[in-house]
Amino acid sequence: MRRIASGFSVGCADGRARRVLRTIMLCGGTSLFALSAFIPQASGQTIPPSGKPAAKKSRVASKQPQAPRLEEVTVTARKRAERIERTPISMTSISGTELAARGISSIDKIQNLSPNITFGNVASNSGVANAAAVFIRGIGQTDFSFGVDPGVGMYVDGVYVGSPVGAVLNMVDISNVSILRGPQGTLFGRNTIGGAVSVSSLTPNSTLSAKADVKYGTGNRINSRVFFNVPLSRTVFANFSVGSFMQDGYVHAPYQKNQRELGNQDTLVFKGALRWHPIDKLNVTLRGNWVRDRSNGAPFVTTGVNPSSTGSMIALANHIAGGTLTNCTAPGCFNSRYYSKNTNYGTGPDYSNLTSWSTSATIDYDLSQYLDLKSITAYSKSLGKFAQDRDASPLPVNYVADLYQEKQFSEEVQATGRALNNRLHYATGIYYFDQSGYDIEPNQFYVLSLVSGGQFTDKNYAGYAQATYSITKKFNITAGVRYTEDNKSFLPNQYYVSTIGAPILSIPPGTRIVPYERFHNNNARWTPMVNLSYQITPELMAYTTFSQGFKGGGFTQRLTNIAPSPPSFRPETVNSFEGGLKFYGLNHRLRLSAAGFFTFYDDVQLLVADATHIGPYYTNAGKAQISGFELEGQYALGDGWTALGSLGMTDAHYTQLNNTVQGLTLNSMFTLVSKWTANLGMAKRIDLGRYGTMTPRADVSYRSRYNADLNAIQYNTLIQPKYILVNLSTRWASRNERYYFQVGLDNATNEKFMAWGSYSASFGNYLKSFDRGRQWYFQGGVSF
């Protein structure tokens, strides 16, 4: 069965000058429809990095509506190809075709397709407009600071992405996205204690093909994508893709330059790959990626002040202006005229500019039919400038900026194979990771100005081994272990620039906040796992797993109080117990999976802002327990109908707290974690004969209430109530599936939920970032 290649050529439409120029560049100034007569029809088959046929994703067979069935799904979560229903891991796999069918062009939307995951784009105490905050089963991280690691690992084409900055990927040249739930510390390593998100790109193959698409919608949204696959010779194949993503902002900013709006998008992506396949045993794949992201700034507003924050800088400003925190009417007062849900009155320039590039080389060699060797070498670099007026007013209360650079090099060598008459399957390897960079922060507060941040290095060494042994044809035991050394260093370059003066605060300019010397935080851990699986029937499998994971320690980067050294914190660890069932039957029409888990979570790392510090800081807050379950299903009902859905529950609560945090209690909710998540999707494929097919679709997702405060402390005004999202679309495809046109309405009920919030007692105002709300779009494409 052939995949539908998404694409559209009619993109050279009228619009603003930059949009027109970019679309002309993508379309080459010529309608791609006019080229269709000269380019042969492509099969659209995807080849994974191994050079072997791509995993087919769940979709109803279109040629035999009288005998519907789901397609086979093959995954490599255990470093070898396995059917997903025979893989004893709680996971979701979403193909690029499925993402395109739903009109999804940004990876953060996968949180609406999988249980117990939050994938947010947050501006945590900074102006960055592209920073991933990913949580799985209640564990993750909200900040991009070098001083702390993510709790969910992000992997792109087998390469670990060390920084959340720029990790909210646009969907260009995507083959599939896999979400692995629970600790993945043995095969994937540190910083996967919540789970992992793995993104795979299309790999060059021997078929000449091309596709393009354009989407136009709310806020002058113009998304344009072009993809080419070209065989250069009998053994060398290449692909290349370009993506442009543009949309106006939706938070008014009357005092910003040109009265521009916050929350816009202006992103350009170039990707390319080259594969050399000289013999059947050898595949060498080179990849490159370049992204330029320009934004007016993250969308946020101030909605009010905390009446109890009488010691805050806003209270001081109002006092100097002749009023009080909650009663001040003079021109220099901070009051309700700056409170809004759709307007930001900040005067300090907000912006988020990021340029990044990466390259990787994957060498895969089948030494024999029993042993495969693989090397993955990668390098990347990012440069960014971010700024944000966080009081969202003309008063100089809280303005932050970042000068950011990050680069990383990694090398992994894997050996996978089988032995003992195929009863033993194993994977072993060594891993090296070297990350360095700086984040210099010239910040301006009401009572002082300072430079914060500094230079960071992180070197990581690891070795791992995992094996699965078949005791019988039905009963398998898997055991593995990983040893990791994690060595971090921090060279703080932090000093005061000016202060408001006596009697409020007087510190000589140039006074260092911490010594200008390198500090170290080194840790080593063993992370084992044991799994038992039993194939009860050919359709039903049961499994149970014990696994451990850890997230590296680090430093508090943003300091304001003079100290002998930057505060450090220990690694956090988990011990996880999981049991599950997987079913694939009813003549291949139904696929179900269920998993339950219980996690002991120790030395929980929290980003906190309380009255004891001007800026946010990290601490090991204590211990927690997390329990829950996931249910997922796909069903080919027949007569063109398909259904899929999931239900997740995450019950996360603290069991023990240290006395290092003010305002945190055993009843405090975890940040950005909903107890209940659910989704349901229905689609009907209607055969129009020689006129093609029509597929209307409805997708509904639900999230229960959550604490939106990125700084961990729970405030009633920063609790986002439960909400339901409804996405509707209809897609027409030509009979040969060369052309398609799609119309959609996302967030049809116009739910303007709070994506994230922030509060610091030192400043006193509540920050909130709301969703854009209802969005419509038209999208069309062509493939050859």
- Residues with Cβ within 8 Å of 5's Cβ and at least 6 positions away in sequence, in order, are 42, 44, 209, 211, 737, 781, 783
How many Å apart are CA 238 and CA 228, to the nearest integer? Answer: 8
**Residue 450 confidence (pLDDT):** 96
- Provide φ and ψ at 74, rounded to 5°: -110, 135
How many Å apart are CA 716 and CA 757, to the nearest integer? Answer: 11
Q: Supply 725's token pair.
A: 């999202």
Res. 252: pLDDT tops 70:
yes
Once rounded to an integer, what is the mean pLDDT over residues 371-388? 97
How many Å apart are CA 475 and CA 20, to the nearest integer? Answer: 60
Virtual torsion, Cα 184, 190, 191, 195, nearest 10 deg: 0
**Residue 492 confidence (pLDDT):** 95
The pLDDT tens digits for 571-618 are: 999 999 999 999 999 999 999 999 999 999 999 999 888 777 787 889
Res. 241: pLDDT tops 80:
yes
- Residues with Cβ within 8 Å of 55's Cβ and at least 6 positions away in sequence, in order, are 48, 72, 73, 74, 75, 76, 81, 93, 95, 176
Q: Supply 780's token pair.
A: 């069309």
| 10 against 428, higher pLDDT | 428
From the list 773, 765, 15, 770, the residue with the least C-alpha distance to 335 is 765
Whether this model's pTM surpasses 0.85: yes
CB 46, CB 6: distance < 8 Å: no
Res. 64: pLDDT tops 60:
no
Q: Supply 173's token pair.
A: 């040249």
Res. 680: pLDDT tops 50:
yes
How many Å apart are CA 479 and CA 499, to the nearest integer? Answer: 58
- Residues with Cβ within 8 Å of 385's Cβ and at least 6 positions away in sequence, in order, are 351, 352, 353, 401, 402, 403, 404
How many Å apart are CA 690 and CA 260, to the nearest integer? Answer: 48
Q: Label residue 189 by pLDDT band (50, 70, 90).
A: confident
CB 715, CB 305: distance < 8 Å: no
How many Å apart are CA 150 and CA 430, to the nearest integer? Answer: 21
Res. 8: pLDDT tops 80:
no
Burial class of 421 by CB neighbour count within 10 A (0 to 12, 13 to 18, 19+): exposed
How many Å apart are CA 498 and CA 492, to the nearest integer? Answer: 19
Once rounded to an integer, what is the mean pLDDT over residues 10-28? 40
The pLDDT tens digits for 465-507 are: 999 999 999 999 999 999 999 999 999 999 999 999 999 999 9
Q: Residue 227: how many CA atoms within 13 Å on its side-chain side?
A: 28
The pLDDT tens digits for 97-153 are: 999 999 999 999 999 999 999 999 999 889 999 999 999 999 999 998 888 999 999
The pLDDT tens digits for 617-672 are: 899 999 999 999 999 999 999 999 999 999 999 999 999 998 878 889 999 999 99
Q: Label residue 65 by pLDDT band (50, 70, 90).
A: very low
Query: 727: phi > 0 → left, psi -120 to 50 → alpha, else beta; which?
Result: beta
706-707 and 719-720 beta bridge pairing: antiparallel
Q: Supply 673's token pair.
A: 């974690």
| 72 against 178, higher pLDDT | 178
CB 361, CB 374: distance < 8 Å: no
Query: 580: phi > 0 → left, psi -120 to 50 → alpha, else beta; which?
Result: beta
- Residues with Cβ within 8 Å of 92's Cβ and at least 6 positions away in sequence, in order, are 113, 114, 115, 178, 179, 632, 646
Once rounded to an integer, what is the mean pLDDT over residues 220-238? 97
**Residue 389 confidence (pLDDT):** 97
DSSP secondary structure string for all residues of 760-771: -TTT-EEEEEE-
**Residue 48 confidence (pLDDT):** 39
The maximal CA–CA distance of the chain, rounded, in angstroms, is 85
CB 333, CB 323: distance < 8 Å: yes
Q: What is the CA radius of gyration of the chain?
A: 26
- Residues with Cβ within 8 Å of 195's Cβ and at least 6 positions away in sequence, in order, are 117, 136, 137, 139, 152, 153, 179, 180, 181, 182, 183, 184
DSSP H or E stretch at residue 101: helix 96-101
Query: 146: phi > 0 → left, psi -120 to 50 → alpha, else beta; which?
Result: alpha
How many Å apart are CA 560 and CA 441, to the nearest integer? Answer: 12
CB 327, CB 288: distance < 8 Å: no
CB 765, CB 302: distance < 8 Å: yes
CB 217, CB 225: distance < 8 Å: no
DSSP H or E stretch at residue 413: strand 398-419
CB 528, CB 548: distance < 8 Å: yes
Q: Supply 622's token pair.
A: 């204590």
Q: Supply 237's token pair.
A: 């194949």
- % of the chain with per-residue pLDDT over 90: 85
How many Å apart are CA 469 and CA 466, to the nearest integer? Answer: 10
**Residue 22 confidence (pLDDT):** 46
CB 658, CB 619: distance < 8 Å: yes
How many Å apart are CA 124 and CA 132, to the nearest integer? Answer: 10
Q: Label residue 67 by pLDDT band (50, 70, 90).
A: low
How many Å apart are CA 87 and CA 181, to the nearest integer? Answer: 13
- Residues with Cβ within 8 Å of 683's Cβ and at least 6 positions away in sequence, in order, are 101, 641, 642, 643, 695, 696, 697, 698
CB 33, CB 10: distance < 8 Å: yes
Res. 513: pLDDT tops 50:
yes
Query: 241: phi > 0 → left, psi -120 to 50 → alpha, else beta; which?
Result: beta
Res. 19: pLDDT tops 50:
no
CB 50, CB 56: distance < 8 Å: no
Res. 430: pLDDT tops 70:
yes
Burial class of 510 by CB neighbour count within 10 A (0 to 12, 13 to 18, 19+): exposed
From the list 613, 571, 579, the residue with the least C-alpha distance to 598 is 579
* CA quadruple 563, 564, 566, 571: dihedral sign: negative
Q: Does residue 689 sit in helix, strand or coil?
A: helix
* CA quadruple 593, 527, 184, 600: dihedral sign: positive
Average pLDDT, the chain: 90
Once rounded to an integer, what is the mean pLDDT over residues 207-220? 96
CB 732, CB 746: distance < 8 Å: no
CB 222, CB 23: distance < 8 Å: yes
Res. 49: pLDDT tops 90:
no
